[in-house]
Chain A
């Protein structure tokens, strides 16, 4: 599958970004990916190519030129109005066949996570999920870092002998590219042309019919909160969360937590911070009774100020905290609420 050792690296050039959009708006992760793509491309003298797939796109694709891209390929056709994985995969496959990029970056959104593996299989190439750090070697090899194996361990992953090198990245993990005053680059309207991509497009179009799409009320996202009070397994009973929610309320913030609380059903999945939850970058993150496993830390290490309360003075969370409070979270927060200190 991975084509022997005789991969011709020079035949694959460019850093491609899948620009996901919905209802006339690009997913914010798109602009984060463009920023990273520019950095990788500049290090190795490559172009940044954005691929937008959707309908209608004409109102928004121009805006991508205000970000540091070299070209935008826009696949705008009625068939792309709703997300159908096989149909979108055909468009991205077509773009990859056209450009032969060395790297393809995709947001780790529900759409991206459904789309990326199909395209990776079409090219029999590697796909690394939820990267937290991306770098590039002079020879063009993408160095992908992510928390791994459920241990307190990071792994560096490379895709050897296969191209394009594909990676997904979650929202808020990487900084957003700055908007440029003057537009740059070229906007190229595209329709699927490569015969093999066209075949897949036709087949999937015939096999799937979208019946309805229902927007969900915009849930308040913990990713946008300025203050987060997060609880972990130090919580002994579901009712006890009230006290910490009270603290969050008084600080004008929201309550979040570690994965075990979500698994127990004490918190909704949308409130989970970490590798398989949300990434957050609040001004203030107060971690109560959280040990600080790498999968948790991966989702909050970008916070400006971190306060951690843990009774175990060796808890790893303290190494990610600016203020390490060794003590009982119930007593400390209880006292804080009682004395009106918050």
Chain B
């Protein structure tokens, strides 16, 4: 079985620079990490592979700037068999539609039976890319999967967490799932694997490697949404500033709480 994990690099902190011209994230030169949800996606993929013991493989696909290669490297240290980084100016500035489209094109090229994505990214935070990829590929998807209950050659059984209920379903392969943090505890990168995979290549996928007619569907040009403007949030509350010793502030707060709660 060909299992693919979709993984993304995200800013390591919340203070991110914005490109004033494009109105998009400036990803160069900020501390980065692997989207935490995607570690759960990779773990789920590895777990399926390891239980199958039939020569199934896990590969990782990530789209991002050249430095996002780190995500693929990290996945090798955790046990992924291969990885592709989609990196090209033409991919830059993609909204969720253009991202899902680009990922789906690369997936079509490399083949897949089961695709595992994170439930959301900590920077985009839309949860839209996974289902979008599935739709572009014309395959079913299940979001918010909290457990994979069975894996058979042609289908899997999963349980989704819809907040107020669990929904267990059997889905034919190929399909895509997005996973919550409850599904597993991601393994730590192993030092041994790190040494073993030091020489392993990361495939680089450029726009030219995808079907050529699709250029205008990629990146900023392929994104129907546009950030028109960015602005500081309006915050307008009439406020009182209280300063002084804590004992005094606590006393005033006690009075305030009485007023507010027992009008």
Contacts and interface: CB of A to CB of B under 8 A. Distances in A.
A254 interface: no
Q: Which of A150, A275, A328 has the most CB of B within 10 A?
A: A150
B11 interface: yes
Interface in A113-161: 113-118, 120-122, 124-130, 143, 147-161
A294 B240 CA distance: 21
Interface string A148-180: 111111111111111000000000000000000
A161 B233 CA distance: 27
B96 interface: yes
B107 to A, nearest CB: 14
B231 A332 contact: no
Given A85-B143, A148-B230, A327-B249, A1 B217 contact: yes
Nearest to A284: B260
A218 B101 CA distance: 38
A157 B226 contact: yes
Interface in B192-238: 216-217, 222-233, 235, 237-238
B233 A297 contact: yes
Given A121-B132, A323-B240, A210 B167 contact: yes
A82 B164 contact: no
B169 interface: yes
B175 A207 contact: yes
B229 A319 contact: no
B97 A121 contact: yes
B161 interface: yes
Interface residues on A, range: 35 or more
Interface size class of chain B, counting residues whose CB lies under 8 Å from the partner chain:
35 or more
Interface string A189-205: 00000000000000110
A84 B158 CA distance: 13
Contacts, number: 283
A161 B13 CA distance: 34
Contacts of A263: 36
B232 to A, nearest CB: 7
Interface stretch (A46-54, A96-104, A237-245, A333-341): A333-341
A60 interface: no
A323 B120 contact: no
Contacts of A320: 235, 237
A333 B98 CA distance: 49
B141 A276 contact: no
Give the one of A86, A125, A147 with max B CB within 10 A. A86
Contacts of A82: 167, 169
A185 interface: no
B100 interface: yes
Contact of A22 (B165, B228, B251, B261): B165
Contact of B140 (A22, A156, A204, A251): A204
A66 to B, nearest CB: 24
Contacts of A67: none
Contacts of B135: 89, 117-118, 121-122
B18 A342 contact: no
Interface stretch (A10-18, A70-78, A305-313): A305-313
A208 B169 contact: yes
B188 interface: no
Nearest to A116: B128
Given A152-B232, A157-B226, A227-B261, A114 B97 contact: no
Given A86-B140, A114-B143, A126-B224, A326 B243 contact: yes
Contact of A85 (B11, B142, B163): B142
Contacts of B120: 276
Contact of A2 (B15, B127, B223): B223
Contacts of A126: 95, 97, 223-225
B92 to A, nearest CB: 15
B239 A318 contact: yes
A15 B64 CA distance: 35
A332 B260 contact: no
A209 interface: yes
A122 B101 CA distance: 12
Nearest to B245: A327
A295 interface: yes
Given A149-B16, A295-B14, A305-B260, A322 B239 contact: yes
B239 A155 contact: no
A54 to B, nearest CB: 13
A335 to B, nearest CB: 4
B142 A341 contact: no
A187 interface: no
Top 5 A-B residue pairs of the complex, sorted by shortest distance between their CB atoms: A341-B254, A331-B246, A335-B250, A126-B224, A126-B225
Given A116-B128, A148-B227, 8 more contacts: A86-B140, A86-B141, A124-B97, A125-B97, A126-B95, A214-B168, A324-B240, A331-B246
Interface of A: 1-2, 22, 82-86, 89, 109-111, 113-118, 120-122, 124-130, 143, 147-162, 203-204, 206-216, 218, 227, 251-252, 263, 269, 275-276, 283-284, 293-295, 297, 301, 305-307, 313, 316, 318-328, 331-333, 335-336, 339, 341-342
7 contacts: A125-B97, A126-B223, A150-B16, A208-B171, A319-B235, A327-B242, A341-B254
